[in-house]
Structure 1
C-alpha cells in the first residue's frame, strides 16, 4: 500500500534518517511530497538544485510501483535520483524513464576539518564578482547568485584583492548541509584556494547541521581528491528523466 508522509519527523523515521532522503525533503518545504510503499521512499522535491527531482531509496521491486505512482501524482518533470543500481533498474522497468547521467554523491558527518582561516563569507554586494568568476571558471554550475535555494557564498581573495575561489551553501535542509558552486579562477588554480573554501564551508555547515554533502562529476578527479582529503566519502548515484 502506498502512503503519503506529511511531517518531516515521519520522513526521518521512515528513512532511518537517510542523509539523501532528509536532504531531498528540505524540511518538507513548499511543494515537497513524500510517498512510501514497502521499504521504498520517493521524495518529490520541486526546484531542488535547479531541477524537479524525485529522490528514491529502497528495493527495486518496491520502488517501481512507487515511482509510477509518484510520477502520476506529480508530473513528468520530476527526475528520479538515487543509488546508481536502483536508478538503472528503474530506467529499465518504468515505462518512459531513461537514464540521464551518473555522478558521485559525497558526504561527511565530521569531525570538521581544520580551517586555516583564509576563507570567509562574502557580502551581497560581492555577488557580481561571484557571478563573473562562475561564468569564466564554472559556467555549468547549478548554484549562482540569485538562484532560489542558494543561501550564501564563501570565498578566498588573493593578496591583490581579486576573488580567487568561491563556494555556496545551497539547498541546505535541517540536518543536511549542502555545498555547491565550487569554482576557482583559472589563473589561480593549483594553489589550494578551493580547498580553503571547502574547509570553511564544511566546518560551518557541520557545526550547524551535523553532516554535509555535495554532488560532483565522477570524472572530476581533482575535485574528488580535495573532498576526500577533507574526509568526505563517495558513492555513485544516477538520475533519470522521462522521455
Structure 2
C-alpha cells in the first residue's frame, strides 16, 4: 500500500533576509541579522534567548510595528513590511493577534469593554457568542465585568489571549506571555496558546526566556546576538548554555 503524504500546512508568514539595525550615536547595533523564517498554520514556534538577543525586535518586525532594514516580511503570501504604515496597520488588525507580557489590556475598560473596543476599531457588529465562548473556555466568564486591576496575573493573561484571538487572527504573536507568572499559571497560559494553535489552526510564535513552557512548542528556535537558528525537538534542552548556537 502506498503511504499517503501528510499535507504541508500553509505558510501564514514568511521572513526573507530580514535584518534590523539601530544607531546608538556613531555605533550601529545589529539587533536582527539576515533572518529567514516561515511560520505555518497549526504550528507553535517557541523562540528562546537571553535578554538583548533580538527576540523582541524580531517580534515587532513580524508584527509590522517596525520595518526591517533589509529583507521582506509577507503575510499569506502578500507583501507586508513594504506597505505604507496605514495599509500595514489595516492588515495587522485583520491578520495578527498580540499577547504581551503586561497583558496589554486597557486599564480603564472592563473585560467586556475590551472586546467592544475591538469591534469598534474593526467596524463590525459585536460577536457576543464568540466572546462568551472564549471566556468560558478560558475559565474567566465570571470576570467579564471586572477591570484589569481586579484580575489576578493568570486571569489577566487568559483575558489577553481571549481578546487577542477574538477577531480570529491567522497569526498570534506572544511576547514573554508567562514571564510574570508562577510555574502553574505559566503552564496554563502556554497550554492555552497551544490549544488555540492546534485546535483553531493558528500560526503562533511565542518569544520567551522561560524554559518551563517549551514542552508545548512544536519547534524551538534560539536567538543569540541577532541570529536565529533552528534547534532539535522540544524538551531536550535543560540549560541556557545548551541553547546557544
Q: TM-score normalised to the size of structure 1? A: 0.31
Q: Which has the larger strand fraction?
A: 1
Of structures 1 and 2, the one with the larger relative CO (CA 8 A, separation 6+) is 2
Q: TM-score normalised to the size of structure 2? A: 0.31
